[in-house]
Amino acid sequence: MNEITPASIGLSREDLPNSYIGRSVPRPNAPKLVQGRATYTDDVVLPRMVHAAFLRSPHAHARIGAIDTSAALAVPGVIRVFTGADLAKVCDPWVATLDHLKGMKSAPQHPLPLSRATWQGEPVVAVVAESRAAAEDGVAALRVEFEPLPAQTDMETALAPDAVVIHPELGDNLVFTRTAETGDVAGAFASAHKVVEARFVTGRHTGVTLEPRSIIADYNRADGTLTVHHSTQAPHMMQGVFAKHLRMEEGDVRVICKDVGGSFGIKVHVYPDEVAVAAMARILGRPVKFIADRFEAFASDIHARDHRIKARLAVDGQGKVLAFDVDDLTGIGPYSVYPRTSAIEGNQVVNLCGGPYDFKNYRCTTTVVLQNKAPTCQYRAVGHPIATAVTEGLMDLAAEALGMDPIEIRRRNLIADDAYPYTSPPGMRFEGLSHHASLDKLLEMVPVAKIRADQEEARKRGVHRGLGFAAFIELTNPSPFMYGIGGARISAQDGCTVRMDPDGSIVASSGVTEQGQGTEAILAQIVAHGVGVPVSRVKIITGDTQTTPYGGGTWACRGAGIGGEAALQSAIALKQQILEVAGAMLQAAPESLDISMGNVTDKATGAERMTLHELGRIVYFRGDTLPKDLQRELVQTRHFITKEYPFAFTNGIQASWVEVDPMTGMVKLLEHWCVEDCGRVVNPMLVDEQVRGGIVQGIGGALYENCVYDSEGNLLTTTLADYLVPMSAEMPEMHVGHVETPTRESLLGAKGAGEAGTAGAPGAIMNAINDALRPLNARVHEQPFTPERILRALGAIA
Amino acid sequence: MKWPAMGYARAASLPDLWSVLAQHGSAAQIIAGGQTLLATLAFRLSEPGTLVDITRIPELRGISVSSGVLRIGALTRHAELGRDALVARHAPLLTAAVPLIAHPAIRNRGTIGGSLAYADPAAELPACIVALDAVVVTASAAGERRIPARDFFTDLLQTALNPGEIIAAVEIPLAERRSAIQEVARRSGDYAMAGLAAALRIEGGRVVAPRLVYFGVGTGPVLAARASAALEGRALDAASIAAAQAALGEDLDPPQDLHGPPEMKRHLARVLTGRVLNGFLNPSEIAA
């Protein structure tokens, strides 16, 4: 076992005041954020800086004709106009495929297209001016001839013989397809006691970060370097991207990422307008700033979750799952998004369907096709909410067909808690999960008997309430098996450098990044715990490729599990070095010493021997008094990468209690519960808030959020009045519980916690709505569950 | 997007306003609470030459009762409307409507005059003043006009206001009436998918002068003539309510929108009709 005990890791006792791992330490950066003293990219103002605005395609698909820039160039303040051809001179296109996704194809994408626009909102021409307002005036004065072409918008017809082939050189609109098949699926269905099936739809939606995408690129001709201030999750990845496509050395590109106002996966991708900004800075030799506005965010941030899934489930007479058979279809826009690709979400559906359950026969196909809509890519809980809704929707249908309680059918099928290690039918390897313990914990929290009695009583009054459950698994701590083996320069390893300065204060720099979720808070906790200092004495540096160890950044729930472990190991190494120096000073064996609250102490008695401040003074200013051969490296760096498992899977289960108004189709969320197991909980408060925030985004997908296009590919939801995000007034009371099954891959034992809420919430809400509607013989499987869809299911409207 | 460059002028009085408007002509755009206008500027949907701020004009302020009417100045902000005692006493429909209007920040800035002048078909206040049979008092250099609310809203985002004319006040006749407003909105504060502002009197057990005004279902507030007629002179009971619901189909011609087809809006309007009218029944009447 890898319990963190003094014996196992040479750390201070758990009851010491600087034992922070597992405690709800308030985040040190919160005052800065709430006092408006954060530094977002838009707060950065550089000398000689200019501003970019983009003319975006008004058509879903159009040939770009003549571009007349003369009037735009005459607008006061406008400096220069760039077309696709201008930028192609300094910037190479990219193709977003991964080698391990067999047969995947996509077309070369330029920062600005050379001849055709392929989605409404695609940046086509850039105007650079003294101010953003002047740049927009310039955009308004551009005259671009667009020749509209037929648009391919419906994913269902993307592979039909008469489909518009969006990139003729690819031959068709098929990007990727994969089928996972194990066991005897046909036989299982043939011999099943009951077979249930449904057609599920998950609505295309997007991340809606509070801070929009933001970038300043500054090319310095004097030293040939490009410095990019960027609101991003992955500075090192972007460093590589800018270098490669602008034909520079990676070492000549620096990406700086200060405060980021939310990301949710939106800011881990390569956007053509952002690369265009870097290319324009390269040409101009001046800093160029671009801050997406909300219109641009809706039309050009990645979208996600645009899936149609036909699925079947076979069960035996006891409710045991015999087989899942799933057919997933997803439309990803006109390009796979660089460098992670847009095939991962469908691939995740294949990997994750049926995930919580113990069964043998499995078939799942994903088909990933092109369409003339905004590109889709990874967004919080990639593929998980889709797979969970499908799996859990089918489980409830099976329970209904069998006349079995939905809790009971889950209990009979969840993988046993002592079954690990376990390999799922699609080949996912689970190190250790806690489905039954989590279900038990959930049932301690959810008053099921009381709720069922209330439900029964309310139905007599014509009030329709429902209780729904959704068990889930979540993929966290990704290894190189996620992207690296496919050829992408995306680091699965991360590092942390911890140093002690002369005053005894600690500075840690990490390759993982902070977007508002509290990464820096947990790093400070871990480092303070590991070294033995008050958390207030620790400063954290993230988000600068020149000053932090090379790493992957924060995505796919790896900040705590990967970055946290690197921080812990480097902190322990620093502590050992400090104790060696202290031992020499105090003429004591280093093993007999400890560090507590910034003081070197006698381990046996706890008596204070010297302060770190004093130790620092001697090391840095009176090194002459120390033995000549004494190592005094008060800077230590450690890296961490998972080696045993491709991913650290987590698990959990959610419950949702809702009221449906059958007259209006409105859903009222009454209460929500989530029990999840993210291994070691470093900071319970932050994990709970991650889960709550995740649930809210799951609620968004289930009830509100939807990027709606008309049949011509025009985006209809371009403002926050039309694209509905979940608001606090509609949110239910949420209860969060934990089971802790630490991963043995690391000392810290932490897995990811950021996506659990989003993974399970839509499925739980869907099942709750359908539980409410059951006496009315209606059910819904198409997200978002709008009043219109519920009224249609009820037959209230045709 | 950034606002286009534009001028700004603040009028101190109505005579001052007329001279400022005369000076800027069609380039002038009046601004009060700005809760719609500022968004359209940020979308660059309108590019006025000069914003003319009327918020300091004293003649447009204040809420008073005299000569049998409740007079509400055009600059009355939604939040003020919602907490005003005279409004609560004489036009509780408006008091009930205020919490349904957007969010507190918008209610703190937005004005009744602005809401009526913009004439959004899904807005609450236009429907309310039609239901209350109010009069819109306008002002211009040419003098004052008094326009019945039912004639004020002419088409989608269109009103009877002439160029250079502003709303000065709304006058609501004092009367004993029952009134209620209900709407169905996706989230609290959203424009309604469908809404109903209703006012009627019950005299001798019979419905008198019912005014059922729907919003979010047409090009403006829709005074449902047939549904209202189905109630006139009848006892308010399940039969008359059903008759009103049945008659409603011909009153409404709702457009499709992002939330659903016309059929859904008709359905929701019928549901609201039942809920609002049933709300007027006291419990003993329902039992009967």
Q: How far is CA A17 from the centre of its chain?
A: 33
Residue B204 lies in a domain: yes
B227 with B251: CB under 8 angstroms?
yes
Do B197 and B251 lie in one domain? The reply is yes
Residue B2 placed within a domain: no
Mark whether B114 and B67 lie in a shared domain.
yes
pLDDT in tens, A311-363: 999 999 999 999 999 999 999 999 999 999 999 999 999 999 999 999 999 99
pLDDT classification of B81: cutoffs 50, 70, 90: very high
Q: What is the per-residue pLDDT for A4?
A: 52
B35 touches chain A (CB under 8 A): no
Residues with Cβ within 8 Å of residue A338, at least 6 apart in sequence: A94, A95, A96, A109, A241, A269, A270
Do B266 and B192 fall within a single domain? yes
B86 and B189 fall within a common domain? no
Q: What local confidence, expressed as pLDDT, does residue A2 receive?
A: 46
A·B CB contacts under 8 A: 64
A246: left (phi over 0), alpha (psi -120 to 50) or beta: alpha
Question: Each residue of A413-422: b (16+ CB within 10 Å) or e?
Answer: bbbebeebee
Rg, Å, chain B Cα set: 19
- Domain boundary (B144, B173, B202) is at B173
Do residues B62 and B45 both lie within one domain?
no
- A798 has pLDDT over 70: yes
Query: Are A786 and B259 inside 8 Å of each other by CB?
Result: yes
Residue B19 has pLDDT above 60, yes or no: yes
Distance CA A78, CA A140 (A): 12
Print the domain residue range for B283: 184-287
Q: Is A300 on the interface with B (CB under 8 A)?
A: no
- The pLDDT of residue A393 is above 60: yes
Residue whose pair of structure tokens reads 């068990």 in the numeric block: A471
pLDDT at position A218 is: 98
More confident residue, A649 or A17: A649
Q: Is a pLDDT exceeding 90 seen at residue A12?
A: no
Cβ proximity of A438 and A675 under 8 Å? yes
| B215 & B127 share domain | no
Burial status of residue A591 (CB atoms within 10 A of its CB: 0-12, 13-18, 19 or more): exposed
What percent of chain B stands above pLDDT 70?
98
Domains of chain A as residue ranges with CATH? 6-38+493-640 (3.30.365.10), 42-149+212-260+266-300 (3.90.1170.50), 303-480+644-794 (3.30.365.10)
Greater confidence, A613 or B45? Answer: A613
Mean pLDDT value across residues A207-231 = 98
Residues of A in contact with B186 (CB under 8 A): 704, 724, 786-787
Confidence (pLDDT) at B287: 43
Reported as a single tens digit per residue, the pLDDT across B118-133 is 999 999 999 999 999 9
Q: Sorting pLDDT into bands at 50, 70 and 90, what band is A11?
A: low
Residue B283 and residue B221 share a domain: yes
Q: Which residue has the tokens 């069609």?
A: B26
CA dihedral A13, A18, A24, A25 (to 10 degrees): -170
Could you read off the pLDDT of B178-209 as tens digits, one per residue?
999 999 999 999 999 999 999 999 999 999 99
Nearest-angstrom CA–CA distance, A679 and A475: 13
pLDDT at A175 over 70: yes
Q: Measure the CA angle with vertex A89, ends A85 and A90; round to 5°.
A: 125
Which one-letter DSSP state was computed for residue A259? B
Mean pLDDT of A425-440: 97
* Dihedral of alpha carbons A150, A152, A157, A162, sign: positive
B48 and B77 fall within a common domain:
no
Here the contacts of B254-257 (C-beta below 8 Å, separation 24 or greater) are B254/B194, B254/B217, B254/B218, B255/B218, B255/B219, B257/B193
Average pLDDT over residues B82-111: 98
Chain A CB within 8 Å of residue B34 CB: no
Q: Is the predicted pLDDT of residue B288 greater than 60, yes or no? A: no
pLDDT at A120 over 90: yes
Residue B178 lies in a domain: no
Question: Please, which pLDDT band fits residue A1 given cuts at 50, 70 and 90?
Answer: very low
CATH code of B23's domain? 3.30.43.10
Same domain, B140 and B233: no
What is the predicted pLDDT for the residue at A263? 95
Contact A721 B191 (CB under 8 A): yes
Q: How confident is the model at residue A556 (pLDDT cuts 50, 70, 90)?
A: confident
pLDDT tens readout for residues A237-267: 999 999 999 999 999 999 999 999 999 999 9
User: Cα–Cα distance between B253 and A212 in angstroms, integer?
Assistant: 39
Asked if residue B93 and residue B72 are part of one domain, the reply reads yes
Query: CB-based contact (8 Å) between B1 and chain A?
Result: yes
- Domain for residue B127, yes or no? yes
**B193 contacts A787? CB cut-off 8 A:** yes
- Rounded to a whole number of angstroms, the distance from the CA of B206 to the nearest CA of chain A is 28
Mean pLDDT of chain A, nearest integer: 96
Confidence at residue B286, expressed as pLDDT on a 0 to 100 scale: 47
Q: Which residue matches tokens 């049949």?
A: A711
Q: Do A788 and B186 touch (CB under 8 A)?
A: no
Query: Does one domain contain both B167 and B67?
Result: yes
Q: What share of chain B has pLDDT > 90, as a percent?
A: 93
Query: Which domain CATH number covers B246?
Result: 3.30.390.50
Q: How far is CA A572 from CA A16, A529, A575, A611, A746, in A?
A: 16, 9, 5, 18, 13
φ, ψ of residue B144 to 5 degrees: the values are -95, 145
What CATH number is associated with residue B113?
Answer: 3.30.465.10
Report whether B266 contacts B249 (CB < 8 A): yes
Could you give the dihedral angle defined by the CA atoms of residues A553, A557, A560 and A566, in that order, rounded to the nearest 10 degrees?
Answer: -50
Task: Kindly indicate the confidence band of residue B44, based on its pLDDT and cuts at 50, 70 and 90.
Answer: confident
- Mean pLDDT within A722-744: 96
> Structurally, how many domains does chain B consist of?
3
Separation of alpha carbons A375 and A345, rounded Å: 12
Q: Does B179 map to a domain?
A: no
Q: Are residues B162 and B251 in the same domain?
A: no
Chain B residues lying within 8 Å of A133, measured CB to CB: 2-5
Q: Do A132 and B2 touch (CB under 8 A)?
A: yes
Q: What percent of chain A has pLDDT over 70?
A: 98
Residue pair A710/B172 in contact by the 8 Å Cβ criterion: no
Nearest residue, CB atoms, B184 vs list A137, A664, A704:
A664
Mean pLDDT value across residues A63-84: 98
The radius of gyration computed from the CA coordinates of chain A, to the nearest angstrom, equals 28
A485-505 residue pLDDT tens: 999 999 999 999 999 999 999
